[in-house]
C-alpha cells in the first residue's frame, strides 16, 4: 500500500493561499523520508490556474543565492530530489479554479507584490485574464507561445478574455466563484471553472504538459466532478453545459412531457427556466427537468475526465515517460464510480473527517476496486480543526493515531499531514509533532505487506450506484446546509439504508466487503463476481439492471444467502435462503461475521488477505475525552473464521516488537456459492490492546520476514477441497 503525505506545506500561523504552494526546501525531503512517505499528494506545480508562465516559474524558475543558502529549490528540482529517496510527487491540477490576484509591478514590469500587496509599484491584477491578453509581468512568455493559433471556443469565437470564458455561470449568466478557496479580506477572486468548456480543457492540457516536463511522477486531477458541483451555487448554465444538455436529451428514446414538441437543436435550458420564472438563488432541485439535467452532467464529467486522463498518459508516453494518474473523488459519491477505472490512485478528501468511521473506508476501498485508496482530512466540519488545536497542547495523540490506523485497518491509507489545508477561515495549517507522524509512518511501513486492500470476508454489501445517485444529489451537500439556497424536503424519494447498514455492521464487529453495482449507462460492464461470498446484503437496491438482477438470482439459486433491506427493484423468486427485512438492525443480526469478540461498539475489525495468510486488523476506539488517550484492553480473546486451518499467528502493535501468539483451531467450513473449503476457527488472546493491533494467521506455520504484499491479491479465489 502507498504511504501518502498530504504535502501542502502551507506556512504555520498564516492562511493557506491557493493555488500556488509555498517554495520547497531540501530539508523537507529528509522530513518526508523520516515519515516513510512514498507518495506526496497536493504536492507541487499548482500555479497553472493563475497563468502558465507562473507555473513555469514554479517548475523551473531561478532561485536566488540567498534562498539556495537554506536549501530552497524550484519544484522540478524538488521532484527529482524526492524521487532519489523513493518518493513520488504529484503535480496538482486544480480543475475548477481560475484565478485573479491583486498585484503590484515595477516600472520595468517586475512583480513587487501579489496576493499580499504592500503599497509599492503600479497596482494591477494578475491571472488568467492578463495572461490571455499579454498584460502580465515582463518575464511572462506571451500567450501565443503556448497557443500559437490562439484558443477558439465552441461557438467558433477567438477567446479574448480567458478568465471570463472558462467560468461557470448562474441562471442570470453571472460567473460563479469557488468560494471554498477564496480568502476574505484579500483582493482576489477565483471563478469556478467549467471543464465542459473545451477552452478550459485545452488550457488544463497545457498545465499537464508543463507538469510532465517538470518530472512529476503523478498527475493529480483535483475537483474531478467539475462543473457538476456548481449545483451547490445554483449552476452551471453556461453555453457549454446547455449544449451538453441538448446533446444528452437528443439521445433519449422517450422525452419527458416538458420537451415534447421542442426543437432540441435550439433548446436552451437556461432560457427555458428563466421563462418559467426561475433565477439565481433558487434551489436547482426545484427546477423542471432537473433530474434530466443532472443526468447530463453526470455523463459529461465522466466523459471529460476520461479525456483528461488519456491525454496525460499519451503526452507522457510521447516524452518517453510513464506517469501515474490520481483523481480526487472527494466523498466517494456515486457519480465518481465511472471515473475510477481511469486512475492509478484514488484519493478522497472525505466530506467530513470524523472519529470512528471505519465504514467510510470500507466503502471507499470497494469503490476503488483494487486501486490504492488515499484519504486526506477535510478541514470543514468533523474533527480536524479541534484535533489540530488539541495536538498543539499535547493532547489527543492516540486519537490522531486512530485516524491514521483506521484507514490502514480497513485497507486504505490516511495521508500524514505536512502543513496541510485548514480551509480559508483559519490562519494556520495542519502540522503534527514529528515524533508522532514519524512513529505512525514507521509502523505503517512495518505492516505494509499486511495492508493489501483485499478483503477476506464471506459477506458483501451491495453499493448500487443508480439507487444512491438521486439521494446524493438531493442531500445537503448541494444545498450546503442552506448557505446558497434553501434546501428542499423530498419525501417522495426512495429510502436509502446503505450508510446506516455499514455503520451498524461496523459497530457490531461484523466485517464485510463492499461490491459496486454500477450505473450501466455511465459504466457499462458485467456485475462483479459474487461467487466467493456466502451472504449478500442488498440495502434498498431499488434501481437494479436486468444483468445485476440475474447475478443476484444466480447467487441465491446456488445457495447464497440474500439479506434484502427495504426495497429491491429486481425480479428474483422467493427462496428459503432469502430474508426480507425492514431495518438495518435486523439485517446485521442475520450477518454472521468472521470475528467473535467482546470488544463492543467502540471497536472495529477487518480481514485482509496477505501473501502468507490472513491478517486480522483490530481497532480500539475507547478514548478518554479529557486527554485523548486510549483506554487499553487486557487479555482480549479473538476467534476468527478462516478459509484454512491456521498453523501460527503473529501479533503486530505500534510501539511493540512483533511477537508470536498461541493459536488454537477448531474445524469449520468456509462457505461460498461455488466453493466449500477446509477452514477453521482460530482463537488467540492479545495480551494488551492499545489503539491498534494486527494478527497475521498463517497457513504454513513459518513466517517469511519479507513477503510480497501484492501476492495476497491473487488469493481472492482461493480454492480448496470440498468437505
Does residue 555 belong to any structural domain of this protein? yes
Does residue 84 belong to any structural domain of this protein? no
**Residue 670 sits in the same domain as residue 693:** yes
CATH number at residue 222: 3.20.20.80
Number of domains in the chain: 3
**Residues 336-369: tens digit of each pLDDT:** 999 999 999 999 998 888 899 999 999 999 999 9
Question: Would you say 329 and 348 are in contact if contact means Cβ atoms under 8 Å apart?
Answer: yes
**Residue 411 sits in the same domain as residue 466:** no
Does residue 67 belong to any structural domain of this protein? no
- How far is Cα 334 from Cα 554, in angstroms, rounded to an integer? 25
- CA 30-85-655 angle, to 5 degrees, is 60
**Residues 243-302: tens digit of each pLDDT:** 999 999 999 989 999 999 899 999 999 999 999 999 998 988 899 999 999 999 999 999
- How far is Cα 545 from Cα 550, in angstroms, rounded to an integer? 9
**Residue 297 sits in the same domain as residue 212:** yes
Q: Which strand (E) or helix (H) includes residue 535?
A: strand 535-541
Is the pLDDT score of 674 beyond 60? Answer: no
491 vs 687, higher pLDDT? 687
Give the pLDDT confidence score for residue 714 in this predicted structure. Answer: 32
Is the pLDDT score of 716 beyond 50? Answer: no
284 vs 79, higher pLDDT? 79
Question: Would you say 595 and 708 are in contact if contact means Cβ atoms under 8 Å apart?
Answer: no
DSSP state of 468: H
- For residue 407, the enclosing domain spans 172-236+292-446
Banded pLDDT at 47 (limits 50, 70, 90):
very high
**Residue 551 sits in the same domain as residue 617:** no
| pLDDT (mean) for 56-81 | 98
Matching residue, cell 471570463: 164
Matching residue, cell 515517460: 321
Give the pLDDT confidence score for residue 495 in this predicted structure. Answer: 77
Mean pLDDT score of the chain, rounded to an integer?
Answer: 92
**Residue 480 sits in the same domain as residue 393:** no
pTM (2 decimals)?
0.93
**Residue 606 sits in the same domain as residue 668:** yes
Does residue 488 belong to any structural domain of this protein? yes
What the block records as the C-alpha cell of 478 is 448541494
CATH number at residue 627: 2.60.40.1180
Amino acid at each position: 500500500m502507498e504511504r501518502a503525505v498530504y504535502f501542502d506545506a502551507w506556512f504555520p500561523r498564516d492562511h493557506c493561499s491557493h493555488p500556488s504552494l509555498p517554495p520547497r526546501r531540501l530539508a523537507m525531503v529528509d522530513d518526508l523520508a523520516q515519515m516513510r512517505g512514498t507518495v506526496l499528494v497536493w504536492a507541487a506545480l499548482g500555479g497553472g490556474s493563475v497563468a502558465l508562465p507562473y507555473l513555469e516559474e514554479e517548475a523551473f524558475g531561478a532561485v536566488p543565492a540567498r534562498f539556495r543558502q537554506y536549501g530552497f529549490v524550484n519544484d522540478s528540482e524538488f521532484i527529482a530530489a524526492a524521487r532519489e529517496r523513493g518518493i513520488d510527487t504529484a503535480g496538482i491540477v486544480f480543475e475548477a479554479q481560475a484565478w485573479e490576484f491583486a498585484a503590484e509591478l515595477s516600472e520595468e514590469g517586475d512583480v513587487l507584490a501579489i496576493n499580499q500587496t504592500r503599497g509599492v509599484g503600479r497596482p494591477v491584477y494578475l491571472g488568467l485574464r492578463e495572461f490571455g491578453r499579454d498584460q502580465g509581468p515582463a518575464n511572462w512568455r506571451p500567450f501565443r507561445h503556448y497557443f500559437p493559433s490562439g484558443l477558439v471556443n465552441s461557438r467558433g469565437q477567438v477567446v479574448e478574455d480567458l478568465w471570463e470564458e472558462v467560468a461557470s455561470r448562474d441562471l442570470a449568466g453571472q460567473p460563479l466563484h469557488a468560494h471554498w478557496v477564496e480568502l476574505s479580506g484579500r483582493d482576489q477572486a477565483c471563478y469556478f471553472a467549467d471543464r465542459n468548456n473545451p477552452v478550459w480543457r485545452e488550457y488544463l492540457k497545457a498545465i499537464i504538459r508543463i507538469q510532465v516536463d517538470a518530472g512529476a511522477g503523478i498527475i493529480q486531477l483535483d475537483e474531478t466532478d467539475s462543473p457538476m458541483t456548481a449545483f451547490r451555487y445554483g449552476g452551471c448554465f453556461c453555453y457549454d453545459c446547455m449544449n451538453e444538455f441538448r446533446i444528452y436529451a437528443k439521445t433519449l428514446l422517450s422525452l419527458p412531457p416538458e420537451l415534447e414538441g421542442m426543437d432540441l437543436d435550439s433548446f436552451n435550458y437556461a432560457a427555458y427556466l428563466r421563462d418559467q420564472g426561475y433565477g439565481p438563488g433558487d434551489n436547482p432541485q426545484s427546477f423542471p427537468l432537473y433530474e434530466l439535467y443532472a443526468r447530463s452532467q453526470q455523463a459529461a464529467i465522466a466523459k471529460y475526465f476520461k479525456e483528461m486522463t488519456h491525454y496525460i498518459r499519451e503526452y507522457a508516453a510521447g516524452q518517453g515517460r510513464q506517469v501515474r494518474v490520481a483523481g480526487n473523488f472527494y466523498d466517494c459519491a456515486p457519480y465518481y464510480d465511472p471515473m475510477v477505472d481511469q486512475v492509478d490512485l484514488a484519493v478522497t478528501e472525505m466530506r467530513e473527517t470524523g472519529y470512528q468511521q471505519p465504514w467510510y473506508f470500507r466503502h471507499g476501498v470497494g469503490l476503488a476496486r483494487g486501486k490504492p485508496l488515499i484519504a486526506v482530512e477535510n478541514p470543514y466540519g468533523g474533527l480536524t480543526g479541534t484535533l489540530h488545536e488539541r495536538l498543539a497542547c499535547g493532547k489527543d495523540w492516540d486519537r490522531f493515531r486512530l485516524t491514521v490506523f483506521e484507514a490502514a485497518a480497513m485497507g486504505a491509507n490516511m495521508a500524514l499531514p505536512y502543513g496541510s489545508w485548514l480551509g480559508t477561515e483559519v490562519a494556520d495549517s495542519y502540522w503534527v509533532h514529528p515524533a508522532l507522524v514519524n512513529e505512525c509512518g514507521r509502523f505503517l511501513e512495518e505492516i505494509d505487506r499486511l495492508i493489501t486492500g483485499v478483503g477476506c470476508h464471506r459477506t458483501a454489501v451491495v453499493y448500487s450506484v443508480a439507487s444512491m445517485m438521486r439521494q446524493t444529489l438531493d442531500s445537503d451537500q448541494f444545498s450546503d446546509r442552506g448557505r446558497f439556497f434553501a434546501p428542499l424536503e423530498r419525501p417522495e424519494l426512495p429510502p436509502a439504508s446503505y450508510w446506516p447498514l455499514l455503520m451498524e455492521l461496523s459497530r457490531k464487529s461484523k466485517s464485510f466487503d463492499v461490491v459496486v453495482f454500477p450505473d450501466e449507462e455511465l459504466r457499462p460492464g458485467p456485475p462483479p463476481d459474487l461467487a466467493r461470498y456466502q451472504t449478500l446484503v442488498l440495502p434498498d437496491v431499488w434501481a437494479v439492471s436486468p444483468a445485476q438482477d440475474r447475478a443476484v438470482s444466480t447467487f441465491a439459486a446456488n445457495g447464497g444467502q440474500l439479506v434484502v433491506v427495504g426495497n429491491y427493484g429486481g425480479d428474483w423468486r422467493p427462496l428459503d435462503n432469502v430474508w426480507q427485512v425492514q431495518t438495518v438492525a435486523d439485517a446485521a443480526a442475520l450477518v454472521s461475521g468472521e470475528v467473535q469478540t467482546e470488544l463492543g461498539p467502540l471497536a472495529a475489525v477487518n480481514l485482509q488477505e496477505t501473501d502468507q495468510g490472513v491478517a486480522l486488523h483490530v481497532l480500539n476506539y475507547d478514548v478518554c475525552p479529557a486527554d485523548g488517550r486510549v483506554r487499553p484492553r487486557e487479555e482480549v480473546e479473538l476467534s476468527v473464521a478462516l478459509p484454512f486451518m491456521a498453523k501460527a499467528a503473529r501479533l503486530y502493535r505500534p510501539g511493540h516488537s512483533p511477537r508470536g501468539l498461541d493459536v488454537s483451531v477448531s474445524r469449520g467450513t468456509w462457505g461460498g456459492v461455488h466453493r466449500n473449503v477446509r477452514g477453521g476457527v482460530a482463537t488467540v488472546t492479545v495480551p494488551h490492546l492499545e489503539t491498534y493491533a494486527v494478527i497475521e494467521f498463517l497457513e504454513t506455520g513459518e513466517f517469511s520476514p519479507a513477503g510480497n504484499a501484492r501476492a495476497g491479491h491473487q488469493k481472492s479465489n482461493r480454492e480448496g477441497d470440498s468437505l
